[in-house]
């Protein structure tokens, strides 16, 4: 993941912005070099006191620390990414993104560059009660959200996905989720017959066919649930809920977690244009102009909606074609070979 931190910080430096307009660039703090790692990392939420601690270790004159520092530097030297290498990574990523958006190569590209069908960020006028479901690992969250302008009141609960369900059938997985939704709604005092809109955040590669429809491409993060790949996961959850007589759910959106992250940040600050996840896996989305996405123009042009769309890059697959071999270390190769999916999701194994 070392390259990921380097790359993300580069997004916030004047020389590293790939797709952000000038008005979206971050302003450096006073007396701070805008191209420094500390400035960049600070802008993506790394605390400055942590950076100071790291810096003091590597600049201390203490003999014991100096000796340890040299040993650490010898081991970690292979993880150092030069600016030239970082520029190579950036160029390779932009090339992969363009291929994923092209009409000719889009279906076969490593980076799927999937449309989210979300065409705008919140404008501050949203209101009402909503359910939110966030599935992306061994646990999932259910939230009851009350929106009023730029204010949001949230109540939530985390539920576990047992290993037998992670390795079981799709019917059992979605039945388990529906059962948890019903219990949560009851605990929150939601009347049994009340219809509530639900947004479903599904953090696995999914080819969306609309705002409320998407087919699973493949499981990641240790899931191997049968009967789901190629199926509409939103429809499967809806069927599980409909089999119960204590749920009345209106499915309003199927989102990737990166899209959910972007939208949540934009709810507070609507100039947000990029969402990034670094957790069990890593992924990013961003707002793209339709004229830079040839594969979507025939479907979405002249539909009366904004001429932009949030693109889910699925950049966990970046490097699966070998385009990142020049930064692999022996440790990266060992980690990849010991994973459950050697050769896949290479950028996550780095």
* Catalytic positions, written as ranges: 141, 203, 257
* Residue 287, helix vs strand vs coil: strand
DSSP per-residue string spanning 126-167: -EEEEEEEEESSSEEEEEEEEEETTEEEEEEEEEE--HHHHT
Q: Are 290 and 301 in contact (CB under 8 A)?
A: yes
Q: At what angle do helices 233-242 and 170-187 cross, to 10 degrees?
A: 60
Q: Which residue stretches of the chain are H helix?
A: 2-10, 37-43, 48-59, 63-76, 83-101, 163-166, 170-187, 233-242, 257-268, 294-300, 330-337, 346-349
Q: At what angle do helices 48-59 and 63-76 cross, to 10 degrees?
A: 100
Sequence-distant (6+) residues with CB within 8 A of 197 are: 128, 130, 131, 250, 251, 252
């Amino acid at each position: 993941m070392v390259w990921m931190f380097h790359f993300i910080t580069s997004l916030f430096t004047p020389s590293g912005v790939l797709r952000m307009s000038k008005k979206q660039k971050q302003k450096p703090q006073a007396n701070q070099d805008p191209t420094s790692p500390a400035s960049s990392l600070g802008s993506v939420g790394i605390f400055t006191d942590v950076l100071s601690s790291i810096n003091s270790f590597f600049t201390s004159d203490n003999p014991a620390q100096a000796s340890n520092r040299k040993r650490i530097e010898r081991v970690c030297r292979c993880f150092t990414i030069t600016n030239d290498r970082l520029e190579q990574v950036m160029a390779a990523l932009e090339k992969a993104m363009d291929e994923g958006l092209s009409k000719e190569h889009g279906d076969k590209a490593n980076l799927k560059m999937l449309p989210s069908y979300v065409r705008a960020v919140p404008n501050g006028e949203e209101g009402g009660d909503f359910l939110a479901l966030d599935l992306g690992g061994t646990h999932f969250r259910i939230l009851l959200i009350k929106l009023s302008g730029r204010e949001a009141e949230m109540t939530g609960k985390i539920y576990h996905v047992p290993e037998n369900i992670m390795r079981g059938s799709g019917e059992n997985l979605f039945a388990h989720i529906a059962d948890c939704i019903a219990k949560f709604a009851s605990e929150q005092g939601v009347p049994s017959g009340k219809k509530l809109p639900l947004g479903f955040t599904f953090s696995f590669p999914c080819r969306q066919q609309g705002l409320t429809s998407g087919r699973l491409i493949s499981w990641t993060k240790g899931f191997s649930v049968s009967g789901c790949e190629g199926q509409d996961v939103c429809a499967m959850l809806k069927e599980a809920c409909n089999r119960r007589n204590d749920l009345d759910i209106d499915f309003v959106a199927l989102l990737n977690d990166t899209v959910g992250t972007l939208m949540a940040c934009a709810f507070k600050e609507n100039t947000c244009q990029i969402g990034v996840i670094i957790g069990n896996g890593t992924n990013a989305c961003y707002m793209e102009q339709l004229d830079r996405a040839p594969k979507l123009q025939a479907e979405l042009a002249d539909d009366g909606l904004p001429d932009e769309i949030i693109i889910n890059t699925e950049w966990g697959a970046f490097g699966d074609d070998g385009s990142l071999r020049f930064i692999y270390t022996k440790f990266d190769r060992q980690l990849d070979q010991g994973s459950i999916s050697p050769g896949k999701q290479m950028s996550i194994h780095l």
